[in-house]
Amino acid sequence: MSVQAQASVASNAPRSAAPLLEVADLAVSFDNASNPGGPRIQAVAGVNMTLFPRQTLAVVGESGCGKSVTAMSAMQLIPRPPGRFDRGSILLEGRDLLSMPESEMLRVRGGEIAMIFQEPMTSLNPVYSIGDQILEAILLHQKLTPDQAVERAIGALEEVGIYNRLKERFKDDALALARGKRDLLSEYPHRFSGGMRQRVMIAMALACQPKVLLADEPTTALDVTIQAQILDLLRQLQNDRGMGIMLITHNLGVVAENADVVCVMYAGRVVEYAPVFELFENPMHPYTRGLFASIPGVRDHRSRLTTVEDVTHEPAEFRKLPGADRGVIPWWPHMPEERRPPLADGRDPYCLHRIGPNRWVGCWRTPELESQASPRPSLDFRRGG
């Protein structure tokens, strides 16, 4: 993995852009199906993150850490029950999505926030042609005549490069090309490869020009070449439109090459929040360090790979934060009781602490940290220029 070492602090200059999407203290829990009387399963326990226009916010973490639940909550796609929003809010340009009535939510879904999913093979309805499915999205959100809608659908597929092969074939025959483009609309998903289907999904998601794109592991099921193509495509569309992308993934390579800001999650909480280069150069939370350490290198000749546990079981790892001597200790749910800082009350022992100007780390809540009152994580930072 190559982390581009150009930490461009210049682009971190304060901008006046208002955040697109603000997740504030979001907590989501689910009924415990196997133990109905027991405690609820806390999928997300107080998550904060902020997405700015033209920014890619990568949400990283292992399976079950609450990445997808956060994104699904923004769409109100969490089935309730068994799900429940315990507290917090998700603001889209200031409007709270969690309390939004369904009628308004229908306009937001697909119209202002679009989502693409991990499984391109099954995310398209097998019994409708791709044209029908894209048109459905377009006609739901835009007042267009059927002809205009078809034009828009063709335009959307054009943008995601579905027609590249066709264009090559009908280089000299504009009429045949136009017909071919239209014919492709009546093809069914099963005739497409995984990469092509994901492109169709993206075309469908972007056909209505959403402000925010929630990409839930969009490339996990694809091979590396297609993965790179899809991510390039997303970045290019993002630049053209100024859209904010929340990129949910557990592929750190994808993060390194695409993200502007990274939010590392564990057990329903944010453990680290930082611009991508700073995070990769200097991971501060032991879990983040564990994640990076567990990536095998090609030239490593080890009989056993380093695991996250190898790092998090090392007490010294938790003493590296600035202010460690004053009790600033990274939050870690598996830490033995005796090593945790003592807590007077029974409240949530976790808080997100601003360590540096661009860095938030999840820490054990101590009276001292509480008095400092870190602002919510918000980094209006973009890589490159």
Partner 1 sequence: MGTYIARRLLLMIPTLLGITLLVFSLVAMAPGGIGAGLQVSGGQMSDTSRVMQMQAYLEDRYGLNDPVIVQYGRWLAQISPVKFGPRFQLAPSGIWVKPPRDLPDPPLRGWFEPPSGAELDLAAVSGVSTFEGMRSMDAHERHRSLQRDSEAARRAYVGSIRGFREVLADYARAQGLQDLLDAKGAADPRRFEGVTPIRQGTAWDALAAAAQAMHTAQRSAVTKAAAERASFDAAPYPRMGVPLVPDLLWLGSPDLGVAFSKNRPVSELIRSALPVTLLLNLIAFPIIYLIAIPTGVLAATRRGSWFDSASGAVFLMLWSVPTVLAGVLLIGFVANQQYLGLFPVSGLHDTQAETWTFLPTFGSGFERGWLLDLLWHVALPVTCLVYGGFAVLSKQCRAAMLDNLSADYVRTAKAKGVPKVDVVIRHVFRNSLLPLITMFVGIFPAMLGGSVVVERIFSVPGMGTLILEAIDLRDREIILANTFMIACVNLLALLLADILYAVADPRVSYE
Q: Residue 162's closest CA among 196, 187, 137?
A: 196
Q: What residues numbered 192-221 form the site for partner 1, per CB under 8 A?
A: 201, 204-205
Q: Cα–Cα distance between 203 and 197 in angstroms, integer?
A: 10
Q: Of the candidates 95, 107, 339, 347, which one interacts with partner 1 according to CB under 8 A?
A: 107
Q: How many residues bind partner 1 (CB under 8 A)?
A: 31
In this structure, what token pair is assigned to residue 20?
């697109």
Q: Cα–Cα distance between 74 and 100 in angstroms, integer?
A: 10
Indicate whether 90 belongs to the interface with partner 1 (CB under 8 A). no
Indicate whether 156 belongs to the interface with partner 1 (CB under 8 A). no
In this structure, what token pair is assigned to residue 350?
């976790």
Relative to beta strand 244-249, strand 212-216 is: parallel
In this structure, what token pair is assigned to residue 175?
């009429």
Name the DSSP class of 100.
Answer: -
Residue 329's identity, in one-letter code, is: I
Indicate whether 80 belongs to the interface with partner 1 (CB under 8 A). no
Indicate whether 30 belongs to the interface with partner 1 (CB under 8 A). no
Indicate whether 336 belongs to the interface with partner 1 (CB under 8 A). no
Q: Which stretch binds partner 1 (CB under 8 A): 47-55, 58-66, 98-106, 371-379?
A: 98-106
Indicate whether 140 belongs to the interface with partner 1 (CB under 8 A). yes
Indicate whether 245 belongs to the interface with partner 1 (CB under 8 A). no
The sheet carrying 21-30 orders its strands as 41-51, 21-30, 83-92, 95-96
Indicate whether 329 belongs to the interface with partner 1 (CB under 8 A). no
Q: Which stretch binds partner 1 (CB under 8 A): 54-62, 106-114, 252-260, 323-331?
A: 106-114
Indicate whether 316 belongs to the interface with partner 1 (CB under 8 A). no
End-to-end alpha-carbon separation of the chain, Å? 22
Indicate whether 152 belongs to the interface with partner 1 (CB under 8 A). no
Q: What residues numbered 109-138 form the site for partner 1, per CB under 8 A?
A: 109-111, 114-115, 117, 119, 122-129, 136-137
Helix (H, G, I), strand (E, B) or coil at 146: helix
The rounded radius of gyration (Å) of the Cα atoms in the chain is 22
H or E segment and range at residue 116: strand 113-116
Minimum CB separation of residue 53 from partner 1 in Å reads 21
Indicate whether 285 belongs to the interface with partner 1 (CB under 8 A). no
Q: Which residues bind partner 1 (CB under 8 A)?
A: 75, 77, 102, 105-111, 114-115, 117, 119, 122-129, 136-137, 140-141, 188, 190, 201, 204-205
